[in-house]
Every structure is written in structure tokens, then in C-alpha cells.
Amino acid sequence: MNEDYLPKKIVLTPGKPIQMLDESIEVLEPLPSNKQAEIKQIADTIKQYLDEAENLIKNKYNEAESLVPEHLKNPGIALVSFCNDGLIIRYDRKLEKKGIGIAIVEKEISEVAPLISENVIHCEYDIDSLNKKHGIGPEITMYKTDASTGHSIEISKVKIGFRSLIKKPVGSLPKPPQKPYCLLSVYNQLEINIIGELLDDATTMRKGRQFLIRSLIKLPVGWECVEIFPFFSTEGWKPEYAKVWAENDILKSIVRNQLREAKLNSLDPNAAARQQYAALLTSYKSLLDSHPDREEALQKFLAENPSILCPTFIRVWPKLALGNRVTDFVFKEASGDYLLVELEKSTHKLFLANGHTSRELNHARGQILDWKRYIEDNLATVQRELGLRDISSNPKGLIVIGRSSSLTASNRRKMVALENESPRLKILTYDDVLLNAKITIENFLGPLDGEMGNTEIYYLPQKWLSIEQS
């Protein structure tokens, strides 16, 4: 047998990917040469299948990478178990290396499947035996947690398992070069959907709103996918078929996921936009809380994502010169109003210890005033030559400076007084920008809370729940 398939020690630990050690093991009875050739042929085919899939995802289907299974885009160890009545292939997530493990088990699929799948998959040839398989699989417990106290209450407990009857499909089995008949293919990615209703909220507009929570979870097992192939023949397993199998499996996964996304987005057309904004605001918050030398990166981030500063803008001019002074941004809002933005450092103070405004804040207020004077004195020129059509002689102004943690209650009252002196001027800290953007986006798209990680929220049409229940 090829050196790649010499007997090696394989370690199976519950909840962890397979380890294939470099040390060889002694074989008491060498396999007949024809059996060795059969094993090598199937192992070569699976290896080619994974290589082809990885290559296709990195190149031809790289833009759809998020829609394909983990074991195809980042393959680890694939354990091929040769049973008396078929094959079981377990694909694990990649740790240090990828490879093909071979196990020859003189038992039926029905005995081996629970062992390979860590008690998740059970297969039987008769329905009576299958019906006796209760309480199989890992246990998943759900809790409800009070955000204010941290106290949790168990609300649901369930075991996740799969039962399958080993039975030939109606009609003939797939012919080469089609992929051989697969009884079942189980991916370690489960979707949990919970339907709820907002009962109490600070904004009464959202009270009573129905929603669907979608969360993707993984079982506490070491594998990413398990496939079971009964009724197989060596003839259907050839490396030259592998590329067709890989591409078909990738396309099936893409179509399946896209259809699922389309169905959910049809319930809530704003879901995708909310998820994008939630990710954007999370990135902004992380950058804001990062190392002290963040200013350059923070300015660049805002330049690339101006909607954080003005979520309702329809046009933006970065670094626009008004006379001999340059703005950070000029926004045209959906209302038709214009907004002049001056960005100061997030490390600057707004007020001194004695309560007076800082030099940096005074400078920013003077900057806004200078721009407004220039526009007032050159209104026709600004409208015509700079493209700020219909801008008034007194546009709105926004100063972004410092952090909210540096402000006292007295400082906040003084900020309100400063804004009252200049009703068209708004002063925000970088933390206020985050909160302001979040509130504005939520007013149009719905709450962003929960739009993170593997959890997504879809706000349902008011009549959806009653239609589903009828």
C-alpha cells in the first residue's frame, strides 16, 4: 500500500477532532492486495474530492465562501470507516493538518454510526429497532437570563440526534460519475428559531412587535460532517469523479443557504441592512476602545464609513475647502439640509477642571463659525462652484470631540447651554456618535440588539404570526 496509507494510530476523543499520530502501528494480519487496492482507491477519491473542493472555494466560488460547509473550505482529517455493509466518512475541522484516516471495522453500519458520530446518528435496517432509539445525541439546554440581575432560568432542554432507516431508494442507485448513494449527510450546524413578542420597551412604538430569533449553533462533537454510504461498490469511487462531486456539493450548499436567507429576508426586508449596521457599529466601538494611538485609524474608519456620523445623508464631501479652511466632512441630508463636520481627537477634553471649555473645543466652535461666515459671504459661489446646491447661509454644524467618560453631569448641562446659544450647532463625543447612529438606524430599520455573532433577529409583519397559526 502507498506510504500515505500505512497503518497509523488514530485517537478519537469525544468532543474533539480526530488526531492522527505519526507513529505507525503493527498489523498482525496484512490485508489481501485486492482489499488494499480498494481502500487506496476510495481514500484517493476522498482526498481528491477535498482538494478539489478547497481549490474551487478559494478561486471560482470565493465570493460564496460563507455559504459552504466548514469541512469543504477548511478540511482537516477525514476518517473513512470501512464497515461490512458500507462506508461511513467523518469530516473533522482542521487543527494542525489535513489527511485521510482509514478504519476497517468488521461490524455493520448500525453499530459503527453511533460510535463515529458520538451518539448523534443511529441507523437500523428495520423500523422497530429504529423506533426504540430514544434520547439519543448531545443535550442542548436553553436559559432565559435577566439582563439586570444576571439570574438565569432554564426554559428548555432537548437532545439532538438523527435516526435513519437503511433502505434502498426507489429506482436504481446513482450511476458514475454521479456521487454514490448517500443515506444521510449531517452537518454540525444547527439553526434554532424562536418566535417572541416585545412586551415592554423604552420606545412604545416597538411594544407588541413580533420577532423571530435565528441562532446557529454547533453540537459539542469533534466532527463537522458525517456521511453514510450503504450499498456501495468500488466502481463508483474514482478520483476522476471527485471534481464533479465537489462542485455539485458546493453549489447545492450555496443554493440551499441562499433560499433560506431569501425566505427569512422576505419576512423582514430590513434584516440584512440591520446586520451590516450592527457589525459596523461593533467595529467602531472596538476601535474607539483600542490603544491610545487610535486617532489616525479612527479618522480613516469614519472617512470610509461616513454613515456613522450622518446615517441619513444622501451625499458627502470629505475634506472640502471653504475659503482657506478645510472641513472634515460636508453632508447633504435626506431632508435637503447641509451639515458641516469638525472632528477633533477622541483624547481631547471638552472641559477643564474649573468647568471652562477647553482650548480644543473652543477651536472647533471657531472653525464651524469661520465656515459659516465664508458661506454667508460667498453663498452664490459655494452653491455654484462647490456643488452645494440650495445650501443655506446658516447650515447645521457638528463637532465630534472627546469621550463621554470624561464628562460630569455639570459638563453635560453646559453642553446643552452651548448648543442653546447656537441652535444649529451640535456637540457630540465619539461615544455619543455611536449612540446617535444606533438610535437613528433603529428608528428606520428596527432594534439592532442581538444582531451579532451567530444570532440574528427578524421583525415580522404584524399579521405573520396569525397566518402561521391558522
Give the separation between CA 201 and CA 203, rounded to whole angstroms. Answer: 5
Q: Could you tell me if 348 and 298 are in contact, meaning their C-beta atoms sit under 8 angstroms apart?
A: no
Q: 3-class SS at 2?
A: coil
pLDDT under 50 in the chain at which residues?
1-3, 202-205, 451, 464-470
Cα–Cα distance for residue pair 313/372, rounded to 1 Å: 20
Asked if 371 contacts 325 with a C-beta cutoff of 8 angstroms, the reply is yes
How many helices (H) and strands (E) the chain has is answered by 12, 21
SS3 354: coil
Q: How far apart are CA 327 and CA 319, in angstroms?
A: 5
Q: How far apart are CA 39 and CA 45, in angstroms?
A: 10
| Cβ partners under 8 Å of residue 11, min gap 6 | 18, 19, 20, 21
Give me the CATH topology for the region 274-445: Restriction Endonuclease (3.40.91)
* Residues near 427 by beta carbon (within 8 Å), at least 6 away in sequence: 350, 361, 399, 401, 415, 418, 419
pLDDT at 267: 82
The angle, 0 to 180 degrees and rounded to 10, between the axes of the packed helices 242-267 and 33-58 is 40
Span 79-124, pLDDT tens digits: 999 999 999 999 998 887 888 988 999 999 999 999 999 999 999 9
pLDDT number for residue 27? 53
User: b/e map of 59-94 (b: 16 or more CB within 10 Å)?
Assistant: eebeebeebbbbbbbebbbbbbbbbebbbbbbbbbb
What is the separation of C-alpha 245 from the centre of its chain, rounded to a whole number of angstroms? 27
Residue 296 near residue 343 (C-beta atoms within 8 A): no
Give the pLDDT of residue 20.
77
Domain ranges of the chain: 3-188+218-257, 274-445
What pLDDT, on the 0 to 100 scale, is given for residue 280?
92
Tell me what pLDDT residue 123 has.
Answer: 94
Q: Which are the contacts of 439, defined by CB distance < 8 A and separation ≥ 6?
A: none
CA dist., res. 43 & res. 349, Å (int): 66
pLDDT computed for residue 201 by the predictor: 52
